[in-house]
Structure 1
Amino acid sequence: MSSHPTFLIVSFDGLRPDLISPELTPNLCRLQSLGVTLSNHGTVYPSETRSAFPSLVTGATTSRHGMVGNKYVDRSVSPPRYIDTADAVLLRKLDLESGGKLMSAATLGEILASEGRSLAVLATNTPGTTRFFHHKAEDFGHVRLSGHFREACTPDEVLAEAEARVGPLPPEPPKTEPDTVGQDWITSAFLNVVWPNYRPHVTILSYGEPDITSHFHGTCAEATRSIIIHCDRQFGRVLDWWEAEGRVEGVQLIAVSDHGHITGHTRVSVIDGLRDAGFRTGVAPAPDVDVVVVPGQVGALYLAEPSDEQIARLVARITEQPWCGPVFTRARNGIDGIAPGSLGNHLVFADHARAPDVSFSFRADDGVDPFGLIGGTFYDNDRRTGLGVHGGLHPKELAAVGIAAGSAFPAAGSASAVPSGICDFVPTILHLLEIGRPNTMSGRVLHELLWDTQKANAEIRREVFEASLGRFRQVLRRVQVGDATYVERGTAAS
């Protein structure tokens, strides 16, 4: 074994921890028996993929890395522009335009490169998400392979090598069909090309399912169950390799997800609701638009003239609606937002220069969906009711998978109930690699997994924040472990 361990992070996009079972995920269950399960583990707000995975690789909340949502309005330029971060080519352009400041926190790939070490990425997510795992890979000659999208792959010779060995890059299947071929391709590319030929110090292997299938079929529909089983089977190939070879060579194996799903039960239109109140709305900045309503499951509202009065008027309007959940605006003090009824967006670590003037979650509840899973919500998209959504502050949206196995995590077959989050993995990896962590990181070292008994007994404190306006009342719950803070739940009622 080398003096420093190596790491493999395997991600399952959108997998709820309560769907891990011997029936659906026997191989993830096998990993649990070999490692430590984080049983009180969560993601960031908003609970969206292209906020959460940047948090994974920066060890930081959205307030620090700046990816405030899957889509946002960029007001650093005139006129302001609408950004969809699914576009890998656009993300590269934005990074170059900004002098390398697309992300406002140091990423794992950059930190490793500065120490002469490497990060490899293999992913079947959108091109933009794939780039986010290591957005500067081409600058360092590091490997980044997409299971579908050539524009997200680098270097060309490694892609050519993978295609020669594994087969041509498969086209992206229609969104209505579970993506099996992509998962097979990236698994084979890791096992047959990237690991044997390049031995990265850290690898991220990211399955883009069951997220897509959950969105188009439902949280635990037959198609969703089948793709969970399929991804687990591909992971089983990786786990077989790890048990036979990787573990002996010092590879530490970490399984994660970026968020969970709940079920959209009532479709609404935020644009129509605001239009009825006299706002001129649109989905992108334009001369005749007062309020940009960014499409998606997290309400992100950008005003053309974001005065305190206009923000308060907007909050007063949305808090009258039955679909309105927790609402955040820029801070007026340590708790309240500038608009009556809102909480400060710093409380959910969303106070970045790119943040919307008003952000809100749709009102969610603990109802049981048609598949027997807890969690339902209002939603705003063009799909039918009964399908999976995420982005907000329901505990089942915030819940994420976290399992760690290997020589660094000695308590095999155990579980840790200490609250933890997606920002904690990279600080822990850097600690084990004996690399200093930048001050941009908000996550903590998971000492309780390392049997680091001197440091594992951090104090746990819970906090509750409330705000109200008329009949609207919201409650936000957080938990602190040492210096790290995790958002546990946000609710609202009329």
Structure 2
Amino acid sequence: MSNANHFVIVSFDGLRPDLIDRRLTPNICRLQDAGVTLAQHRTIYPSETRSAFPSLVTGATSSRHGMVGNKYVDRTAKPHRYIDTSDAVLLDRLNRESGGHLMTAETLGEVLAANGRSLAVLATNTPGTTRLFHHKAEAFGHVRLSGHFREACTPDDLLAEVEDRFGFLPEVPPKGEPDIAAQELITSVFLDLVWPRLRPDVTILSYGEPDTCSHLNGTGAAKTRAVIAFCDQQLGRVIDWWEAEGRKVGVQIVIVSDHGHITAHSRVSVGESLRESGFAPGTAPAAGVDVIVVPGQVGALYLTHPASTRLARLVETVTAQSWAGPVFTAPKNEVEGTAPGSLGSHLVFADHERAPDVYFAFRADDSVDPFGLVGGTFYDNDRRPGLGVHGGLHPKELAAVGIVAGSAFQSSGAASHIPSNICDFTPTILHLFGIGQPACMTGRVLFETLDRRAPRLDLPATPEVFEATLGRYTQIVRRLRLGSNIYIEGGWASS
């Protein structure tokens, strides 16, 4: 019987695993020495924050939970509406309007509450991301605290006490400056208030950096490295508490990131490319717009009037561009998408009713940026080249941090080379609590990390390769199959 009584999940938004080292992140390394590092750990597609963190808390891909990107078009509304999931107030309204089905899979918070347990969230991400960690916290009287945004906080009396004891929530720092104060605040609130008083069964402590700094300074820039080091120091405070107190009462620690970053090198305009091919693109539903180009690094195209001929012409237009990476449409069969030249979106577990008519990743490569980091890509935003982006299928975008430590896990400081991804943590937590895994979860229990009395996973991972062509355009998606679980290795295109 496991003595896992509590879990603390510490997240570093956008941290590439290859940025972890003993000089920059001594405390992450300290935890690695105490537990197991998931050396073949990945995120999901789209590799965006507000798709990946819902996968963390649902143990499922976006095909199940429905957060199909940081932004999407709601075509169930009349008229259609553009949804930016960074808006916590909007997400609350959508959840109420849908009768509690903002996410179309059960979440960790819901499962814990149904079993008499609690989830607390303390996060410095966008208000929408903070809400998505536990979008029904109000219904269960659970804690959800933002380091910046009052509209994402609950309950009100806890927020009042936080501001009385620790000061008002800090303002978001000027654009491009590291977000320091909020990371320290949420760590202090957990250590000095939430844990001593409430002892949540699971706590998510989510640092919104280094993601923001990477986007605005570069993934290996001095400011980005500085904020990584600062967040690592905050983790050090948590580990000090764990070694002095938490470990004795069965606290397990999990370190995660939601995705990696690669470097933007060639700016393009998707909208302009479509316009030159005879489409009338826009960034939101509007009169005269025939294809909505959802802003962001994830290519998401919604046709105003979907039809097979228009879909085929749209895919033909996209695949003819130098910036086009892998392209997906709704599945036609086990491999192909509905439109010629595309792969089925089910191959990357992105086939949800909210999904766009066409998903695409920008074409990426293994170029080395000025900071010595591998991975470059085309991009479509108003920022200069050389900054961090994510959302696609380059292995460095999909690579994510996964470390587990505590009495339930092996303590050899070993690395597991068995594939895993962000969907696997919640099934593992529920298993260690003795709670059954809901059918909607696609993740698995990380048996290979548990103590030596636990069942072992000895199956070899089987490679899978899928290919589609259209004229000179060719795309490949590689996956690994481990029993009934499948992990995406990456996607590439050439022409």
TM over 0.5: yes
Shift of 1:127: 0.1
Q: Distance in 2 between matches of 1:407 and 1:455?
A: 17
Shift of 1:159: 1.2
Residue matched to 1:410: 410
Map Cα deviations across residues 438-483 of structure 1 (whole Å, 9 max, x no partner).
1000000001011355442234211000000000000000011111
Counterpart code for 1:474: Q
2:4 and 2:408 in contact (8 A); partners too:
no
Map Cα deviations across residues 388-440 of structure 1 (whole Å, 9 max, x no partner).
00000000000000000000002331110000000000000000000011100
1:7 and 1:202 in contact (8 A); partners too:
yes
Q: Distance in 2 between matches of 1:297 and 1:454?
A: 40
1:101 counterpart SS class = coil
Q: Distance in 1 between matches of 2:52 and 2:389?
A: 15
Q: Distance in 2 between matches of 1:276 and 1:4?
A: 59
Residue matched to 1:198: 198
TM-score, with structure 1 as normaliser: 0.99
1:260 counterpart SS class = coil
**In the TM superposition, what are the counterparts of 1:10-49 in structure 2 within 5 Å?**
10-49=10-49
Instruction: Indicate whether 1:482 and 2:483 are aligned.
Output: yes
Residue matched to 2:108: 108
1:255 counterpart SS class = strand
1:161 and 1:193 in contact (8 A); partners too:
no
Shift of 1:298: 0.7
1:423 counterpart SS class = helix
Q: Distance in 1 between matches of 2:233 and 2:411?
A: 25
Map Cα deviations across residues 354-392 of structure 1 (whole Å, 9 max, x no partner).
000001000000010110000000000000000000000
Distance 1:238 1:467, change over 3 A: same
Q: Distance in 1 between matches of 2:196 and 2:408?
A: 22
1:248 counterpart SS class = helix
Residue matched to 1:180: 180
Residue matched to 1:466: 467
Residue matched to 1:319: 319
**In the TM superposition, what are the counterparts of 1:118-129 in structure 2 within 5 Å?**
118-129=118-129
Q: Distance in 2 between matches of 1:224 and 1:325?
A: 27
Instruction: Indicate whether 1:154 and 2:160 are aligned.
Output: no
2:214 and 2:387 in contact (8 A); partners too:
yes
Residue matched to 1:401: 401
Residue matched to 1:71: 71
Counterpart code for 1:484: N
2:61 and 2:350 in contact (8 A); partners too:
yes
Q: Distance in 2 between matches of 1:491 and 1:452?
A: 41
1:2 and 1:250 in contact (8 A); partners too:
no
1:209 counterpart SS class = strand
1:2 and 1:249 in contact (8 A); partners too:
no
Q: Distance in 1 between matches of 2:466 and 2:176?
A: 40
Counterpart code for 2:486: T
Residue matched to 1:339: 339
Residue matched to 1:57: 57
Shift of 1:164: 2.1
1:311 and 1:357 in contact (8 A); partners too:
yes
Shift of 1:183: 0.2
Instruction: Indicate whether 1:424 and 2:424 are aligned.
Output: yes
Q: Distance in 2 between matches of 1:455 and 1:220?
A: 38
Tell me how many residue pairs correspond in the alignment: 494
Q: Distance in 2 between matches of 1:459 and 1:367?
A: 31
Counterpart code for 2:483: G
Q: Distance in 1 between matches of 2:455 and 2:422?
A: 23
1:112 counterpart SS class = helix
1:247 counterpart SS class = helix
Q: Distance in 1 between matches of 2:467 and 2:175?
A: 39
Counterpart code for 1:490: G
Q: Distance in 2 between matches of 1:2 and 1:268?
A: 53
Counterpart code for 2:6: T
Consecutive unaligned residues in structure 2, runs of 5 or more: none
Map Cα deviations across residues 177-204 of structure 1 (whole Å, 9 max, x no partner).
1100010100000000000010000000
TM-score, with structure 2 as normaliser: 0.99
Counterpart code for 2:260: G
Distance 1:82 1:258, change over 3 A: same
**In the TM superposition, what are the counterparts of 1:225-240 in structure 2 within 5 Å?**
225-240=225-240
Q: Distance in 1 between matches of 2:225 and 2:253?
A: 24
CA RMSD of aligned residues (A): 1.1
Counterpart code for 2:197: N
